[in-house]
Amino acid sequence: MQNSVMRIRLTHVRRMRIMSRMMKFADVLKALADRKGGRDWALVAEMAGMHYDTLARIARGDIGNPGVLAVEKIAAALEKIEAAKAKETSA
């Protein structure tokens, strides 16, 4: 009985992690759409350690499943850019 309860809990935790990542991917796509092309995408690509064309293909939806690592790198780059912009405006 305890094994089945543990499996249910683990399944729930996995589902929540997947949902969290899916939300993050949707947020990344929206943030990229807001910055449509140009210097911002070049900066994001550079900071994420990927080629500009790869970032553009992810943003356009040509790469439907870019992988968790790529999405996390893009999200981290976007967060750093936002933090730098916020710091500039507050200074």
Q: Is the pLDDT of residue 10 over 60?
A: no
- pLDDT value at position 1? 47
> Using CA of residue 24, residue 30, residue 85, residue 68, what is the dihedral sign?
positive
Which of 28, 72, 83 lies closest to 49 in space, CA to CA?
Answer: 72
Per the prediction, the chain carries an average pLDDT of: 79
